[in-house]
Amino acid sequence: MNRCIYCDHKLYHLSDGMLKCSLCKRKYSPKRINKILTLIDSFCENENALQTSKRLSLSYVSIHKYYDIFRFYCAHICENEYEHARHKPCEYEEYFYLEQSKRHDRLAIFDAHNFLTFDYENHIYTVVMPTLQKYKQQFINDDLEKVYNSEFARFKRKSRIIKVSKHLNKIVDFWEYFEKFILSYKGISTENFPLYLKEAEFKFNHPLETQKKLLQKQYFTDEYK
């Protein structure tokens, strides 16, 4: 490493092994910087926290915390990009996601994740809709879950018609990408689902090397604040 990770100016080595920038005067450990860059690479290449911890002989808990930070930054970058894109023409569709293991359970419809998918001139943006879980017991008590299940099934049939009529547009491309992406994660909670959705959105919108550069910039910029 011969360029500053913060301002891209020349570095010089100190006697204690640390690096110092000739312009911004920041000092940091090359070992720690290399660790962060390696973890960002692994995250962007879809290597999960357990695989990374085993490969690098590092604590799973530590890697998982870093991955959560990276997901937060993915969401932050997506929101910033939306601010620049939201004035462009867009199309949008509603989507329900339910884990495959639950798709034959009549009551699992209340566990479905509902989100809107926007296409701003080939740039995808997602918004998670409110969960139905809080209404689950009320529907059961009122014996209305059968009615809701019927409506949900009708919606899914309508969605399939939309997908066929539009063929392979960007929104459908994202839905298919998301379905494959999310399979590598087991049992994501309702609270954490929005961050994983934003991770998928971020990765879908950007090539691999761009993902890495954006996360590196966000991580080290935020760290120095």
Predicted TM-score (pTM) of the model is: 0.79
pLDDT of residue 67: 97
Distances (CA, A) of 24 to 1, 113, 221: 16, 45, 13
Q: Please list, in sequence order, all residues whose beta carbon lies within 8 angstroms of the beta carbon of residue 76, skipping any fewer than 6 positions away.
A: 218
Spans of the chain below 50 pLDDT = 155, 157-158, 160-165, 167
Q: Are 55 and 41 in contact (CB under 8 A)?
A: no
Residue 75: per-residue pLDDT: 97
Residue spans of the domains in the chain: they are: 31-224
Of 34, 175, 32, 13, the C-alpha closest to 94 is 175
Residue 147: what pLDDT? 52
Q: How far apart are CA 121 and CA 182, in angstroms?
A: 24
Kindly state the helix (H) or strand (E) to which residue 171 belongs, with its residue range.
helix 170-182
Angle at 213 between CA 208 and CA 219, to 5 degrees: 125
| C-alpha pair distances (Å), 155 with each of 114, 118, 121, 162 | 12, 19, 26, 10
| Beta partners for residue 12, in sequence order | 20
Q: Report helix, strand or coil for 57.
A: coil
Angle 96-101-107 (CA atoms, 0-180°, nearest 5)? 65
> How many other CB atoms are there within 10 angstroms of residue 6's CB atom?
16
For residue 91, list its beta bridge partners. Answer: 119
Q: How far apart are CA 218 and CA 222, in angstroms?
A: 6
